[in-house]
Amino acid sequence: MARKRKGLLLVVSGPAGVGKGTVNAMLMQRHPEIKMSVSVTTRAPRPGEIDGVHYFFRTKEEFDRMIEENAFLEYMHVFGMNYYGTPRSFVEAEREKGNHVILEIDVQGAMKVKEACPDAVMVFIAPPSLAILKSRLVGRGTETQESIDVRTATALNELKMLPQYDYMVINDVLEEAVGEMESILTSELLRTERNTTLIEKLTGGETI
């Protein structure tokens, strides 16, 4: 569709091991108009990391100023640790261009974004079962038994937040999950509340 519409902010959460990174990567591969949100951090760049691509690297002073200026959709600010935040300006600039922004974030961060940006589309990627999620974590071969137990317990708590999201995509067959994400994007763009300008033009006799 060539009709110019503001892009969407897609907030994507899901337990570790559910495959949300793979789903989002495939989605972005197919749709160049979908961008991954770039976070601001106070940690030092690792070799190869580029400012504005992997992260926006900022000092603690700069980060604090951004907080004061309400420049974040959400941020994590734990005493003695590095800070991380989602800059509002990046998200808004991409959306104004008509691009969609994916923000992969944990449930706590997601709830803050929902409050800061009520028109965000909230998607939870769920496993077909907790047992399958656990077996995927085991299958990675990189997690200790303790880490797997912790992650599975965390996953259950995350799943309990599902009703706070708009959509649930079950990552069973990857191809289907990606197709469902595409349907969510397509249909959300058709929501009448996202098309008030087009509707005004139409009732004013213009072609849209």
**82 vs 157 by CB, closer to a second copy:** 157
Closest approach, Cβ 90 to a second copy, in A, equals 26
Backbone phi, psi, residue 63, to 5°: -65, -45
**1 vs 53 by CB, closer to a second copy:** 1
**150 vs 190 by CB, closer to a second copy:** 190
- Terminal Cα-to-Cα distance of the chain (whole angstroms): 11
Closest approach, Cβ 192 to a second copy, in A, equals 5
What count of other Cβ atoms lies within 10 Å of the Cβ of residue 205? 6
Q: Give residue for tokens 């449930």.
A: 107
Contact 107, 159 (CB under 8 A): no
Closest approach, Cβ 148 to a second copy, in A, equals 16
* Beta pairing class for 72-76 and 34-36: unpaired
Residues that bind a second copy (CB under 8 A): 1, 3, 124, 126, 128-132, 156, 159-160, 162-170, 176, 179-180, 182-184, 186-188, 190-193, 195-196, 198-199, 202-203, 205-208
**71 vs 169 by CB, closer to a second copy:** 169
What count of other Cβ atoms lies within 10 Å of the Cβ of residue 100? 21
